[in-house]
Structure 1
Amino acid sequence: MEIEIATIGGYEEVGRQMTAVRAGDDVVVFDMGLNLSKVLIHDNVETERMHSLDLIDMGAIPDDRVMSELEGDVKAIVPTHGHLDHIGAISKLAHRYDAPIVATPFTIELVKQQIKSEEKFGVQNDLVKMEAGGRMAIGDENELEFVNVTHSIIDAINPVLHTPEGAIVYGLDKRMDHDPVLGDPIDMERFREIGREGVLCYIEDCTNTGKKGRTPSESVARRHLKDAMYSMEDYDGGIVATTFSSHIARVKSLVEFADDIGRQPVLLGRSMEKYSGTAERLDFVDFPDDLGMYGHRKSVDRTFKRIMNEGKENFLPIVTGHQGEPRAMLTRMGRGETPYELDEGDKVIFSARVIPEPTNEGQRYQSEKLLRMQGARIYDEIHVSGHLREEGHYEMLDALQPENVIPAHQDMQGFAPYVDLAEKFGLSVGENLHVTRNGKLIQLVE
Structure 2
Amino acid sequence: MEIEIATIGGYEEVGRQMTAVRAGNDVVVFDMGLNLSKVLIHDNVETERMHSLDLIDMGAIPDDRVMSDLEGDVQAIVPTHGHLDHIGAISKLAHRYDAPIVASPFTLELVKQEIDSEEKFGVENDLRAMEAGETMSISEGVELEFVNVTHSVIDAINPVLHTPEGAVVYGLDKRIDHDPVIGDPIDMDRFRQIGDEGVLCYIEDCTNAGKKGRTPSESVARRHLKDALTSMEDYDGGIVATTFSSHIARVKSLVEFADDIGRQPVLLGRSMEKYSGTAERLDFVDFPDDLGMYGHRKSVDRTFEQIMSEGKEDYLPIVTGHQGEPRAMLTRMARGETPYELENGDKVVFSARVIPEPTNEGQRYQAERLLGMQGARIYDDIHVSGHLRREGHYEMLEALRPDNLIPAHQSMEGFAPYVDTAEAFGFEIGEDLHITRNGNMIQLVE
1:127-146 aligned at under 5 Å gives the runs 127-146=127-146
What is the percentage of aligned positions where both structures have the same residue? Answer: 87
1:210-289 aligned at under 5 Å gives the runs 210-289=210-289
- Aligned residue identity for 2:267: L
- The whole-number CA distance in structure 1 between the counterparts of 2:141 and 2:430 is 29
Matched, 1:370 2:391: no
Two-structure CA RMSD over aligned residues (Å)? 0.3
Residue 170 of structure 1 corresponds to which residue in structure 2? Answer: 170
The Cα shift of 1:141 comes to 1.9
Residue 157 of structure 1 corresponds to which residue in structure 2? Answer: 157
- The whole-number CA distance in structure 1 between the counterparts of 2:440 and 2:296 is 42
- Deviation per CA, 1:421-443: give whole Å up to 9, x if none: 10000100000000000000000
- The whole-number CA distance in structure 2 between the counterparts of 1:201 and 1:45 is 38
The Cα shift of 1:389 comes to 0.0
Residue 61 of structure 1 corresponds to which residue in structure 2? Answer: 61
- The whole-number CA distance in structure 2 between the counterparts of 1:109 and 1:139 is 26
Residue 81 of structure 1 corresponds to which residue in structure 2? Answer: 81
1:370-409 aligned at under 5 Å gives the runs 370-409=370-409
Task: Tell me the TM-score normalized by structure 2.
Answer: 1.00
User: What is the SS of the residue equivalent to 2:169?
Assistant: strand
- The whole-number CA distance in structure 2 between the counterparts of 1:424 and 1:408 is 18
The Cα shift of 1:240 comes to 0.1
Residue 49 of structure 1 corresponds to which residue in structure 2? Answer: 49
Residue 303 of structure 1 corresponds to which residue in structure 2? Answer: 303
The Cα shift of 1:65 comes to 0.8
- Deviation per CA, 1:302-336: give whole Å up to 9, x if none: 00000000000000000000000000000000000
The Cα shift of 1:139 comes to 1.5
The Cα shift of 1:212 comes to 0.1
- The whole-number CA distance in structure 2 between the counterparts of 1:115 and 1:355 is 26
- The whole-number CA distance in structure 2 between the counterparts of 1:140 and 1:125 is 23
Residue 415 of structure 1 corresponds to which residue in structure 2? Answer: 415
User: What is the SS of the residue equivalent to 1:53?
Assistant: helix
- The whole-number CA distance in structure 2 between the counterparts of 1:344 and 1:430 is 58
- Aligned residue identity for 1:31: D
The Cα shift of 1:154 comes to 0.1
The Cα shift of 1:360 comes to 0.2
- Aligned residue identity for 2:166: G
- Deviation per CA, 1:349-370: give whole Å up to 9, x if none: 0000000000000000000000
User: What is the SS of the residue equivalent to 2:257?
Assistant: helix
Residue 34 of structure 1 corresponds to which residue in structure 2? Answer: 34
- The whole-number CA distance in structure 1 between the counterparts of 2:425 and 2:266 is 48
Structure 1 residue runs without a partner (length 5+)? none
- Aligned residue identity for 1:237: G
- Deviation per CA, 1:386-424: give whole Å up to 9, x if none: 000000000000000000000000000000000011000
Residue 433 of structure 2 corresponds to which residue in structure 1? Answer: 433
- The whole-number CA distance in structure 1 between the counterparts of 2:66 and 2:92 is 16
- The whole-number CA distance in structure 2 between the counterparts of 1:170 and 1:426 is 21
- Deviation per CA, 1:183-237: give whole Å up to 9, x if none: 0000000000000000000000000000000000000000000000000000000
The Cα shift of 1:342 comes to 0.1
- The whole-number CA distance in structure 1 between the counterparts of 2:390 and 2:14 is 18
Structure 2 residue runs without a partner (length 5+)? none
User: What is the SS of the residue equivalent to 2:81?
Assistant: coil
- The whole-number CA distance in structure 1 between the counterparts of 2:210 and 2:128 is 37
User: What is the SS of the residue equivalent to 2:154?
Assistant: coil
Residue 193 of structure 2 corresponds to which residue in structure 1? Answer: 193
The Cα shift of 1:269 comes to 0.1
The Cα shift of 1:157 comes to 0.2
- The whole-number CA distance in structure 2 between the counterparts of 1:376 and 1:388 is 33
User: What is the SS of the residue equivalent to 1:147?
Assistant: strand
After the TM superposition, list the runs of 4 or more consecutive aligned residues in structure 1 that deviate by more than 3 angstroms: none
The Cα shift of 1:140 comes to 1.7
- The whole-number CA distance in structure 1 between the counterparts of 2:41 and 2:156 is 29
User: What is the SS of the residue equivalent to 1:177?
Assistant: coil
Matched, 1:444 2:444: yes
- Deviation per CA, 1:134-157: give whole Å up to 9, x if none: 100001220000000000000000
- Aligned residue identity for 2:317: P
The Cα shift of 1:254 comes to 0.1
Residue 99 of structure 1 corresponds to which residue in structure 2? Answer: 99
Residue 290 of structure 1 corresponds to which residue in structure 2? Answer: 290
- Aligned residue identity for 1:56: I
- Aligned residue identity for 1:298: K
- The whole-number CA distance in structure 2 between the counterparts of 1:249 and 1:429 is 39
- Aligned residue identity for 1:428: E
Matched residues, number: 446
